[in-house]
Amino acid sequence: MNNKGNILYAQSGGPTSVINSSAYGVIMEASLRNEEIEKIYVGKNGIQGILDETLIEIDPKDKNLELLKQTPGAAFGSCRLMLDESNKTIFKKIEKVFAKYNIKYFAYNGGNDSMDTVMKLSRYFSSNNIDVKVIGIPKTIDNDLKGTDHTPGFGSAAKYIASCVSCIAYDAKAYSKGRVNVIEIMGRDTGWLTASSSLANLSKNGPDLIYVPEVPFDTSDFLKKVKKIYDKKKYAIVCVSEGIKDKNGNFIGESGQKDAFGHAQLGGVATYLANLITQKLNIKTRGIELSLAQRSASFFSSKTDVQEAISCGREAVKALLNNKTGFMIGMRRKEGNKYEIEYTLEDIDKIGGQIKYLPSEYIAPNNIKSSFIKYVSPLVKGEVKLKTKNGVIKFYNL
Amino acid sequence: MNNKGNILYAQSGGPTSVINSSAYGVIMEASLRNEEIEKIYVGKNGIQGILDETLIEIDPKDKNLELLKQTPGAAFGSCRLMLDESNKTIFKKIEKVFAKYNIKYFAYNGGNDSMDTVMKLSRYFSSNNIDVKVIGIPKTIDNDLKGTDHTPGFGSAAKYIASCVSCIAYDAKAYSKGRVNVIEIMGRDTGWLTASSSLANLSKNGPDLIYVPEVPFDTSDFLKKVKKIYDKKKYAIVCVSEGIKDKNGNFIGESGQKDAFGHAQLGGVATYLANLITQKLNIKTRGIELSLAQRSASFFSSKTDVQEAISCGREAVKALLNNKTGFMIGMRRKEGNKYEIEYTLEDIDKIGGQIKYLPSEYIAPNNIKSSFIKYVSPLVKGEVKLKTKNGVIKFYNL
């Protein structure tokens, strides 16, 4: 009797520094389970690759797979395709491809839009009595997924952001008369990443002001605060989320473009505010956008984050082989002072398409409370020993 | 007989990731020479601090000094003051402060404008038979100082730039249809830093096009090249120096502001070119400015660079105690395949106020030749084991 099935892994949504560590976890765990799993496939460009039938078999003995742990982006390609349940053709097509490749286990790695896909696919397979299990592996630098203490990708982004902000803050005080540096950090809806800049205060060189999307932004109050700090220190560090909005809900840095999901494409709020300060207060400024390096600086990942991302991948395979479907792997922080994580199965219906905001208990006026440090600090701990060639980081290339 | 003198160290010009490593080298070497040196002083904010008499005595036994090796910026403060030889009052004032504090040895750490100060001060003390020796310690991320194979600060900046560009390039190919990413790199006059982005090609994820200030920028040719690459790959990575100019010598990203030295303040060329591509070619783009992190990301310094910066500091003390004056410490690369440096004394008259351009032998049309890799690769090698607290980099705070 050959009850063996094949496993498929695919990536979706915005890349992170550690999504490929989850891929590594899936592949390594699956390779241990060869009594149940015959072949390991990856889908190129997420669900789009499945529709296009670009499934690639992976040899788990390939030594280069080790490099996945330090490869940013999405090694197998990503997509932003969302499934519409009224479009039966697309589900039929996926069913057909899965049958053709004998896919019984599907692990989908992504953020809240991707968990929506996990929900819809698992519902489709279950309600049609098709023997395919679907599990979601969390991933987003934004840390805005429900059902988990935090998301893989967040810790590394937070580590890079806090390190950059502390170095920029130290650099900024070099001259007796400096500038106001406005640093723009990713976060369309939530302030988790921008809040992480407060970690830089542990180095005694952190932001003077922090603004997150959870609190309406008041421009005139902002200018008053900046002036007060600059008059005293002769320089200032301001960290703002790209998604800060005024009290009417209008983005401060709106550029007018929209992405494939119809979300507004932001960027430019740092430049906007820097120019405003120069105009209104006659102070020299610099607008700094941390940009793509925030989500891709795998040369300086958090070791904790990499290890947890691998574990999430491994846990997904275990869940699939336990015939679980329609769940996302979650991380729960154990009680007590020592940081320890247990992995959970979270009902996917309660996750897809939702947003976990930065709790108000962490938010102070124009700043972040020090209680947030206790939450975020364990997530950024540890540096990864890099594999390099001629001083340059090595990547896994498909 | 007490022939002992005191040593003074000060920092000037734009900060780097490793200027404080040179400070560490000076302090450690000086502490070994206590038969000749009584006290070790640092001047706050360069030559300005000497004029203001803000000299601070350093205890070389302070364990925190170890943190200088991972502290960015300018731990003792910088300035942009240049000395005017016709203004005798300022030289008299410096002479008086030096006499008051019994400063016989002065090590000044900076770029080409700072070496101009070393030249003028050493000339003043020599021609007036005053027993003060002055040595320059090179420092600039720009790598544009004459008299040395390369400058401390360049290797770390090059390492960070190459790492960021390779990670951004990997991230950029995640979607089946991506963007043109235009990455702006520091370099007002020279293309050394932007050329370093070519190191990312070793990871097989590097820039498609590289533009440096040494070659006039042709906008219409640029747009043609971008279109060709995008049509083929569906994404592109373009690296440009902030200081690229058209054939008439006008900056492409001119913003109109000038710094204290009268140099044009640049920035914005990435955004400008990204917008131009979108307008003319109807392609989605992203302008990315690597900004201050390039010169301050001491969380990811080159180990080679840190060690050489320390050595330059040590060599400056040795030269001063050998009664040398009016020299800059230089680094000469030994012949042969193995990378090895010998430290030299370079006549300061041939260095101050001059610029070492990227040699044309390294420049290809819209790109950098692979021969440059051999030059730059040894300079970026090695990672530093960081001292952290709660996952956050620790700094030396004066």
Q: Do A171 and B15 touch (CB under 8 A)?
A: yes
CA distances from A143 to A101, A180, A186 (A): 34, 28, 11
Is the Cβ of B386 closer than 8 Å to some Cβ of chain A?
yes
**Whole-angstrom distance, CA of residue A271 vs CA of residue A183:** 9
Q: Which residues pair with A210 in a beta bridge?
A: A239
The SS3 assignment for B353 reads coil
Per-residue pLDDT for B260 more than 60? no
Low-confidence ranges of chain A (pLDDT < 70): 1-2, 253-267
Residue A212 phi/psi, 5-degree rounding, is: -120, 160
The whole-number pLDDT of residue A314 equals 98
| Residue B373: Cβ within 10 Å count | 18
Put simply, the chain B residues between 14 and 33 with a CB less than 8 A from any chain A CB are: 15, 17
Tokens of B168: 């951004």
> Which carries the bigger pLDDT value, residue B58 or residue B259?
B58
Chain A hits for B74, Cβ within 8 Å: 171, 174
The whole-number pLDDT of residue B265 equals 47
Residue B385 phi/psi, 5-degree rounding, is: -80, 115
* E strand or H helix that includes residue A236: strand A236-241
Put simply, the chain B residues between 176 and 195 with a CB less than 8 A from any chain A CB are: 176, 181
Tokens of B84: 């005017």
The whole-number pLDDT of residue B255 equals 52
The SS3 assignment for B354 reads coil
| Residue B324: Cβ within 10 Å count | 16
Is the Cβ of A299 closer than 8 Å to some Cβ of chain B?
yes
Q: Considering only alpha carbons, which residue of chain B is nearest residue A287?
A: B291
Active site residue A142: yes
Q: Do B392 and A202 touch (CB under 8 A)?
A: yes
Q: Map tokens 């008439």 to a residue.
A: B248
State CA B389 to chain mean position distance: 28
For the domain covering B5-141+298-353, report its CATH number: 3.40.50.450
For A73, the closest of B174, B176, B378 (CB atoms) is: B174
The whole-number pLDDT of residue B333 equals 97
Chain B hits for A15, Cβ within 8 Å: 171, 174
**Whole-angstrom distance, CA of residue B195 vs CA of residue B211:** 8
Chain B hits for A392, Cβ within 8 Å: 162-163, 166, 199-200, 202-203, 377, 380
Tokens of B310: 């320390």
State CA B247 to chain mean position distance: 27
The minimum CA-CA distance between A390 and chain B, rounded to whole Å, is 6
Is the Cβ of B77 closer than 8 Å to some Cβ of chain A?
yes
CA dihedral of residues A253, A256, A259, A260 (deg, nearest 10): 160
The residues spanned by each domain of chain A are 5-152+298-354+382-393, 158-295
Q: Do A289 and B286 touch (CB under 8 A)?
A: no
Share above pLDDT 90 across residues of chain B, in percent, rounded to a whole number:
90
Q: Do A199 and B391 touch (CB under 8 A)?
A: yes
The minimum CA-CA distance between A362 and chain B, rounded to whole Å, is 18
Q: What is the CA radius of gyration of chain B?
A: 22
CA distances from A169 to A121, A236, B159, B267 (A): 47, 8, 21, 19
With contact defined as beta carbons under 8 Å apart, do A395 and B204 qualify? yes
The whole-number pLDDT of residue A255 equals 52
The minimum CA-CA distance between A178 and chain B, rounded to whole Å, is 10
Expressed in percent and rounded to 5, the helix, strand and coil fractions of chain B are: 40, 20, 40
Chain B hits for A286, Cβ within 8 Å: 267, 291-292
CA dihedral of residues B69, B289, A249, A376 (deg, nearest 10): -30
For the domain covering A5-152+298-354+382-393, report its CATH number: 3.40.50.450
The whole-number pLDDT of residue A112 equals 87
Q: Do B168 and A292 touch (CB under 8 A)?
A: yes
Put simply, the chain A residues between 114 and 153 with a CB less than 8 A from any chain B CB are: none
**Whole-angstrom distance, CA of residue B185 vs CA of residue B206:** 14
The minimum CA-CA distance between A236 and chain B, rounded to whole Å, is 14
State CA B171 to chain mean position distance: 28
Q: Which residues pair with A331 in a beta bridge?
A: A343
Residue type at position A300: F
The whole-number pLDDT of residue B60 equals 97
Per-residue pLDDT for B266 more than 90? no
Q: Do A171 and B73 touch (CB under 8 A)?
A: yes
Q: Mutate which of A50, A54, A170, A237 to test chain B, going by most B C-beta atoms within 10 A?
A: A170
- As for the ipTM of the complex, it is 0.95
Give the pLDDT mean for B163-182: 95
Q: Considering only alpha carbons, which residue of chain A is nearest residue B48?
A: A176
Chain A hits for B236, Cβ within 8 Å: none
pTM: 0.96
With contact defined as beta carbons under 8 Å apart, do A141 and A153 qualify? yes
Per-residue pLDDT for B210 more than 60? yes
Q: Mutate which of B170, B179, B196, B238 to test chain A, going by most A C-beta atoms within 10 A?
A: B170
The whole-number pLDDT of residue A1 equals 42
With contact defined as beta carbons under 8 Å apart, do A298 and A88 qualify? no
Q: Do A171 and B199 touch (CB under 8 A)?
A: no
In B139-263, DSSP assigns E strands to 180-185, 209-211, 236-241
Fold of A158-295: Rossmann fold (3.40.50)
Confidence bin at B263 (pLDDT 50/70/90): low
How far apart, in Å, do the first and last CA atoms of chain B sit?
A: 34
Do the domains at A5-152+298-354+382-393 and A158-295 have one common CATH topology? Answer: yes
The whole-number pLDDT of residue A391 equals 87
Is the Cβ of A233 closer than 8 Å to some Cβ of chain B?
no
Helix and strand numbers, DSSP H then E, in chain B: 11, 15
Burial of A336 (0-12, 13-18, 19+ CB in 10 A): exposed
**DSSP type of residue B377:** G
Q: Work out the mean pLDDT of chain B and round it to a whole number.
A: 94
Chain A hits for B392, Cβ within 8 Å: 162-163, 166, 199-200, 202-203, 377, 380
Chain B hits for A199, Cβ within 8 Å: 390-392
Give the pLDDT mean for B183-199: 97
DSSP letters of B61-110? Answer: T-GGGGGGGG--S-TT--------TT-HHHHHHHHHHHHHTTEEEEEEEE
Spell out the SS3 assignment of chain A. Answer: CCCCEEEEEEECCCCCCCHHHHHHHHHHHHHHCCCCEEEEEEECCHHHHHHCCCEEECCCCCHHHHHHHHCCCCCCCCCCCCCCCCCHHHHHHHHHHHHHCCEEEEEEEECHHHHHHHHHHHHHHHHCCCCCEEEEEECCCCCCCCCCCCCCCHHHHHHHHHHHHHHHHHHHCCCCCCCEEEEEECCCCCCHHHHHHHHHHHHCCCCCEEECCCCCCCHHHHHHHHHHHHHHHCCEEEEEECCCECCCCCECCCCCCECCCCCECCCCHHHHHHHHHHHHHCCCEEEEECCCHHHHCHHHCEHHHHHHHHHHHHHHHHHHHCCCCCEEEEEEECCCCCCCEEEEEEEHHHCCCCCCCCCHHHEECCEECCHHHHHHHHHHCCECCCCEECCEECCCCC
Give the pLDDT mean for B311-327: 98
Q: Mutate which of A179, A379, A392 to test chain B, going by most B C-beta atoms within 10 A?
A: A392
| Residue A295: Cβ within 10 Å count | 28
Tokens of A6: 């094949």
Superfamily for domain range B154-296: Phosphofructokinase domain (3.40.50.460)
Tokens of A17: 């520094």
* E strand or H helix that includes residue B112: helix B112-127
Confidence bin at B268 (pLDDT 50/70/90): confident
Q: Mutate which of B390, B395, B396, B397 to test chain A, going by most A C-beta atoms within 10 A?
A: B390
Is the Cβ of B199 closer than 8 Å to some Cβ of chain A?
yes
Of B108, B113, B105, residue with least CA distance to B131: B105
**DSSP type of residue A105:** E
**Whole-angstrom distance, CA of residue A62 vs CA of residue B168:** 25
Per-residue pLDDT for B262 more than 70? no
For A167, the closest of B77, B171, B299 (CB atoms) is: B299
Q: Map tokens 């395709």 to a residue.
A: A81
Active-site position among A52, A59, A131, A142? A142
